[in-house]
A and B are shown apart, each in its own frame.
Chain A
Amino acid sequence: DQQVKQNSPSLSVQEGRISILNCDYTNSMFDYFLWYKKYPAEGPTFLISISSIKDKNEDGRFTVFLNKSAKHLSLHIVPSQPGDSAVYFCAGRTGNQFYFGTGTSLTVIP
């Protein structure tokens, strides 16, 4: 049973525009959420995170929004750059364990 879902397998965006990646979760015990970025043939790298007691966290071009009532989080990238083309995973934490979504492949078109 997938506790974290990323329903869009892929997304294409023009360079300079906003990229919005979405993530839904079912486990109300998640207390921390993270986004990772993954290039082919590499391991995921940490991008940004948010505690469940907050609704927004911003780091440069990246902002994560959390809507606890809807069990939904989103990652905004503004402006999008070609180097942002990668697979993005969201993850939720409960206890010592992390549950990952299936990923969204972002392509930023120059």
Chain B
Amino acid sequence: NAGVTQTPKFRVLKTGQSMTLLCAQDMNHEYMYWYRQDPGMGLRLIHYSVGEGTTAKGEVPDGYNVSRLKKQNFLLGLESAAPSQTSVYFCASSYSLYEQYFGPGTRLTVT
């Protein structure tokens, strides 16, 4: 039982490049979330999903897209990376709207 896993763990991008972050969970959870953590800002919700095939915007969705084609996977895409997207990205999942289980994070640097 791996819980929530995130791929990759680290990535460096140049401005304008694109990439996809993968989140996978093996707990059969309905809800999945993408957050970013910046110094002095706490965790801020980017996008979330309440079930397979659904996505919704969170607090800071601009510059990101997501897809939930399979229940166990939640993908976060950056189409044209900007230095302001340098952050640590956390994925989380939950069975219901209670406690969330977080992945270990992806540290992204955009130069």
Which residues on A are within 8 Å of B, measured CB to CB?
Answer: 2, 4, 6, 32, 34, 36, 41-46, 49, 89, 91, 93, 96-103
Contacts and interface: CB of A to CB of B under 8 A. Distances in A.
A93 B31 CA distance: 14
A44 B97 contact: no
B43 A89 contact: yes
A103 B48 CA distance: 22
A43 B90 contact: yes
A46 B48 contact: no
Instruction: Name the residue in B92, B97, B99, B102 with the highest tally of chain A Cβ atoms < 10 Å from its Cβ.
Output: B99
A10 B19 CA distance: 35
A101 to B, nearest CB: 5
A2 B38 CA distance: 13
Interface in B54-111: 56, 58-59, 90, 92, 97-105
